[in-house]
Chain A
C-alpha cells in the first residue's frame, strides 16, 4: 500500500518521482484530481445533505489521528466544536501548513502536487463543524505551494465547489490561502492564529482552548495539512478501509519523510504499523552500505532512537512510543555511523534557541543555556558536571512553558543523553571531533 491517500494523484512508482514526471502529469490541476475521483465525496455530501454528525462518526471510526505531531484523534477533535448558536458569530477551520519541523517535508508535497484534495478536505471539515470560513495558512517560504493552492482555489471556485451556494445548494463556505512570515513557532496552533490575526505569532496560553476561543476569539479547529487531506479518501473508501490499513490504535496510512544517510530520501506514504526496516528498504537502504546508528523518528523535537532499537520498531504511534520516542510529524532523520551525536544535538539546540518565540522564561533563557552547554561540550571546553547540568536545565524547561516548544527543546537533549552519553563524555575528556566523519 503506497501513496493511496494524500498522494493518490501521484505516480505509484516512487523511483519516477522527479520534478519532470510531476510537471508532465500536472497532478495539481482540477482535471487531474477529478480523474482520480476528486470532489466526488464533496458532491455527494452536498447532494445528500449528509448530516455532519455522520461525517464525524466516520472519522472517529477511521481512527485518523492528527498528523501535525501530537497524534490527537481527529474525529474527537472535530466533535469538540460547539454547535452554532445564534448570534455567536463565526466558527473557523484552520489548516496548519506551516511545516517547519526539521526533517519534515510532506505537507509541501501535498500543497504543491495535490492541493485540490486539501481543499476538498477543508470543505468537508468546514461542513462537518459548521464553519463558514476556512484558512489554509502556509509558511512564508512556500512560494510554489502557495501559488498552486491559489490556482487550485480559483479552479475550485469556478467549478462551484467553494463559495456561496455551493453546487446550487444553500451551503456557503469561503476558503482562503494565507502565508505566515516564516518562523517555526508559527506552526504552533495558537501562534498560527495570532499570525493570521496580524499579531506577533506568540503561542497563547490555554485554557481557553481554540475550540472555544480561537481565531479572532471564535471557536476554531486546527488540523495539519496531511490530516485534512486524508479526509476525502477516508470518506470515499470508507472508514473501515482506512482503519484496516493501519493498526488498531493508529488507523490508515501516514507519510514518512525519510532524510539523511539513505540512498533514496523522500516522502513515503505507507500503512501505519509498517516495520521501520521495510521503510528503510524502500528508501534504498543506507548510503554506501553504512551501518545505521540512530534515527530521529518524528521530526527534530522527538527523542533520538538508536539504530538497533529502531530496526525492531513498527511505525505506528504506539510502536515508536514503546521504543522511547514519538511518531510526531513522521520526519525520519536517518544517521549512519559517521555521525557525531554531540554535533547533531548541538545543531538542533541551536535551532531551538533561534526559534523560541521568547515569551516564556524557561524557554527563552533555557534554550540559550542548553545551546551554550552543547557548544562547550562539543568544543571540549566543558566539565563532566556540565552533562548533568545540561540534563537538569532541559528538565527545568520541560512542562513549564506556554506551548510544547519547551518539550521540543528538552526531549532531544534527554534522548541524546540517554543513548549517547558516552559521546558527550568523550568530547569532554578527549576534546572535540571524537567521532570520525
Chain B
C-alpha cells in the first residue's frame, strides 16, 4: 500500500494500481469510456485525463500507475478542460439521435455529455455515417454511433475467446468489423451490448420495447445452467402488476459467480415466456379430446384418478420426474407428496443413465472447488464436457486465464470447438475414452509409485502427455461434464476420475446440466435419498428403472420428456401406455397432448419465487417478477393444493416461507459423504457399434429456451445435422449433405448428414432437444445409419 493524494485528500492505495482503479476503490469517479475493469486497458478514449502534479500533460487515469505521494486532481481546471475537449471531439461525429436510440437513458456518452458537453456545437461539418454491421439474430448494430472505444473487441478477444471483432481502416474512418461479414458465433455475444457504452450495439430481441427509465429492475438467478449466474429481469409497467411483462434481461454483478457476464441463453430466453404454446389454463383429456378446466375441476380430477390408482395398486404405482427449473421448494413438496402417497420412485437426474454408484455419491453434485478458483489454476482437466455451450460463463474465466499460464487438457467424445486452446486432448468414442482414462490413471499411479489400481491398455501419446501435465502441476481441477454424466459408463468414469484426483492432489467435481439439478437432488428428488440426505435402505426406481418397469401413473414437473431425457423413445412409449400422466408445465406440446391426461399450467422462473442451488452449493433465492400468465400458478402452490385435494397431512403451507422453513430444517443434517468405489476392472466394452453422441445445443436445453425465437435463429447447420467423420461416412456409403435414416430399435428419424472430422470413429453425433430429434431413441447408445430412400 502506498499513499497518494486525490483532490487534496490522502488515500492508501494498492501499489501497481492505475489511478482510475485507485480512485474507483475510494468512490471517486473519473469519467471513462474505453476503460472497463474486466478488460485490458486500451487508453484510447482519453476521457479519463486528470491532472497530476509535476506533469505537464494531463495523464490518462486508466493507464497511469500510481506512485508514492502522487498528487492527483480529477476536477481541476486543467483536468476538466481536457475532459471537456475529449467530450467535444467524441460528440462532433456522434449522431444526435438519442430520442430514437435504444441506449437513450442508459448511455454512458449521454450521461457524461450532460456533465461535460456543451449545449451548442462548434462543429459545422457533416457528421460521419457508418454502415451497419450484420452480426446475426441477437445484436443489432448502429455503427454510426460507435465511439471506437474497442470494448466489444476486447471482450470478444479476451473473455469471449473468439476475436470475432476487430478494427479496420484508420483515422476518422476507423471502424469495428468482423472483416468478413458473418454472424457472431459466441455464446456470450450479448455481453458486448453491455460493454458498449453507447447505442452502437443493441439487443435485437429487446430493442425499442421500452425505455430504461420505464423499466423496473428485479434481481434474478439465471435458469439454464448450474452456475447460478446473477441477473436482473427488467419489467415494464411498474404501476400495474397485472400487466407487467419481462422486457429484457441483463447481468447482475456477482464477483464469485458470473462477475458481470451472462450467457446469451440466460439473456434472451425470456422471449420464450410469451410463446404461443404457453399453457394458460388447466386442461383435461376425456376420450382423447382436450378441454379447458377450472383449477378446482382439474385438481379434483387429478386427486380422484391418482387416488383411485393408488388405492387399488398401492403407492408403488406412481413415478415422479422433476425438471431442473423446478425450485428447491417445489422439489421439496414434490418428493414429500410422492413419499406421502407411498411411492419411492422419484428422480430429477434427467440426463443420466448409469446410477450404479448412487449410494456412494455426494447427496448432490459439486464442482469440487469454487467457481472463482478457476481463475488461479495451473491445469484444468475436462472429461466429457462441452463447457463452451453448456456453461458458457465459465469460459469467461478460462479464456483470460490462458494468458496467465493456465493449461487446459481434455478427454472428450468429440473435438469440441472450445474458445481456448487445449494443451493436450484425447478425442475418442465412449469405450476408447474409458480405456484411455483407465490408462491415464494407471500411468499416473505408476509414476506416483502407487500399486496399479487398474489394468489398462497402453496409454496413447496424448494420454501420456496429459499424465505428464497433471504430474507437473500444482493446482489442478478435474471436471466431469454433461457428456460423461450421460454416458452408460458414468460410474466407471467417476470412479477413475476420483482416483486420479486423489493421486495428483486435484479437486474433482461435476458439471451437470440444468439450473437446479443440484438443488433437486439436495432436497431429495432422487429415489435413494430422502430430503435430509439420508440414504434409503431400499431405494426406489430411478428414471431408467421407472421406464423399464412401467408405473401406472406419472407426475411430471416442468419437463418435456420427448426433448429432455436421455432415453426419449422408451420414456414416451411408457408414458403413452400409463393409465395416468399429470404434467405440471408452463408449456404444452403436441407430444405432451399425446401422453398426458391432465396438464396443469405452472409458472416459469420469472413468474414464481423460490430458490436454486448452484454447483458450488450456494442457495440463491429469487422473487417472481410478474404474475403468472393466464391461469398458471407457481408449482409449489399447485403441489400444495393437490396434496390437500389428496387429503394428505402436513401440507398446510400458507406461504413459500413456510415451505422454506420446513425445507431448511430437514436439510440441516450434514451431507453424508462416502468414498466412491474403486474401479478395479473395466466394464466389458462392445466394439464395432456406432454410438450416438447426443449433446443438447445451447439453445435447445430446456422448454423455455427452446421457445425463445431469436436464440433459435442462431442454430447453425452443423448443430441440426447428424455428424460423422469421413471414415465412418465412407464405410456407410454416405456423403456430406445426404439424407440419412438413423435407427435405434423401432425409433427412427431422418436427418441431414454432415461429414465432420471432429467426431471420432464409431460415433455419430445426433443432437438432442431438436424438433427433429424429439422422442428419438436413446442418447449414448448404439444406433444404425443408412441412406434414406427419399
Residues of A within 8 A of B (CB): 183, 185, 200, 205, 207, 353-362, 364-369, 372, 376, 389, 396, 399-402
Contact = CB atoms under 8 A, between A and B. Distances in A.
A365 B85 contact: no
B351 interface: no
A402 B44 contact: yes
A37 B44 CA distance: 48
Interface in B70-93: 82, 85-86, 88-90, 92-93
Most chain A beta carbons < 10 A, residue from B90, B125, B147: B125
Nearest to B41: A205
B60 interface: yes
B46 A360 contact: yes
Contacts of A200: 166-167
A362 to B, nearest CB: 5
Nearest to B87: A361
B43 A402 contact: yes
Interface string B164-184: 001101111110000000000
A367 B174 CA distance: 13
Contact of A353 (B64, B82, B124, B172): B172
A401 B47 CA distance: 11
A399 B89 CA distance: 14
A183 B45 contact: no
A368 B171 contact: yes
A362 B170 contact: no
Interface in B21-49: 41-47, 49
Contacts of A366: 89
Interface residues of B, number: 38
A18 to B, nearest CB: 37
B170 A356 contact: yes
Given A361-B86, A396-B85, A355 B43 contact: no
B122 A389 contact: yes
A372 B147 CA distance: 20
Interface in B146-195: 147-148, 150, 166-167, 169-174
A365 B46 CA distance: 12
A358 B170 contact: yes
Given A354-B171, A356-B170, A361 B63 contact: no
B208 interface: no
A400 B172 contact: no
A396 B56 contact: no
Q: Nearest 10 pairs between A and B by C-beta?
A: A358-B174, A396-B85, A365-B89, A356-B171, A205-B43, A399-B57, A368-B172, A359-B44, A358-B170, A205-B63
B365 interface: no
Main secondary structure of the interface of B (DSSP, over half): loop
17 contacts: A185-B170, A205-B63, A207-B63, A353-B172, A355-B170, A358-B148, A358-B172, A359-B42, A360-B45, A361-B148, A362-B89, A364-B148, A365-B89, A366-B89, A368-B171, A368-B172, A389-B122
Given A359-B148, A399-B56, A400-B82, A365 B90 contact: yes
Nearest to B172: A368
A366 B86 CA distance: 9
A183 B44 contact: no
B44 to A, nearest CB: 4
B73 to A, nearest CB: 16
Given A361-B47, A367-B172, 7 more contacts: A205-B41, A360-B44, A361-B45, A369-B123, A369-B125, A376-B124, A400-B58
A212 to B, nearest CB: 12
B172 A207 contact: no
Contacts of B92: 365, 369
Contacts of B170: 183, 185, 355-358
A190 to B, nearest CB: 12
B19 to A, nearest CB: 12
A396 B92 CA distance: 14
B169 A400 contact: no
A205 B89 CA distance: 20
Given A205-B43, A365-B92, A401-B46, A358 B86 contact: no
A367 to B, nearest CB: 6
B154 to A, nearest CB: 12
Nearest to B85: A396
B125 A372 contact: yes
A364 B172 contact: yes
A188 B150 CA distance: 21
Contacts of A207: 63-65
A361 B167 contact: no
A185 B601 CA distance: 64
Nearest to B171: A356
Main secondary structure of the interface of A (DSSP, over half): helix
Interface of B: 41-47, 49, 56-58, 60, 63-65, 82, 85-86, 88-90, 92-93, 122-125, 147-148, 150, 166-167, 169-174
Contact of B93 (A365, A376, A402): A365
A179 B58 CA distance: 35
A353 B174 CA distance: 12
A75 B170 CA distance: 35
A358 B125 CA distance: 19
A342 B45 CA distance: 31
Contacts of A183: 170
A399 B172 contact: no
Most chain A beta carbons < 10 A, residue from B41, B56, B65, B174: B174
A193 B150 CA distance: 20
Given A200-B166, A399-B56, A358 B171 contact: yes
Contacts of A376: 124
A192 to B, nearest CB: 15
Contact of A400 (B86, B90, B93, B148): B86
B87 to A, nearest CB: 9
Nearest to A365: B89
Contacts of A365: 89-90, 92-93, 172
A316 B89 CA distance: 37
A401 B89 CA distance: 12
Contact of A361 (B56, B90, B125): B90
Nearest to B44: A359
B147 A361 contact: yes
A322 B122 CA distance: 35
Contact of A364 (B42, B43, B64, B174): B174
Contacts of B88: 396
A303 to B, nearest CB: 18
A400 B85 contact: yes
Given A354-B171, A361-B47, A365-B90, A399 B42 contact: no
A361 B46 contact: yes
Nearest to B49: A400
A353 B92 CA distance: 15
Contacts of A359: 42, 44, 148, 150, 167, 174
A409 to B, nearest CB: 11
B49 to A, nearest CB: 6
Most chain B beta carbons < 10 A, residue from A357, A358, A367: A358
Most chain B beta carbons < 10 A, residue from A183, A366, A400: A400
Contact of B173 (A358, A362, A401): A358
A400 B57 contact: yes
A389 B388 CA distance: 53
Given A362-B89, A369-B92, A396-B89, A353 B171 contact: yes
Given A361-B44, A402-B44, A367 B123 contact: no
Contacts of A368: 93, 171-172
B171 A357 contact: yes
A207 B52 CA distance: 15
A311 B86 CA distance: 40
A400 B46 contact: yes
A389 B85 CA distance: 12
A364 B63 CA distance: 19
A293 to B, nearest CB: 30
Given A200-B166, A205-B41, A364 B171 contact: yes
A368 B167 CA distance: 18
Contacts of A361: 44-47, 86, 89-90, 147-148
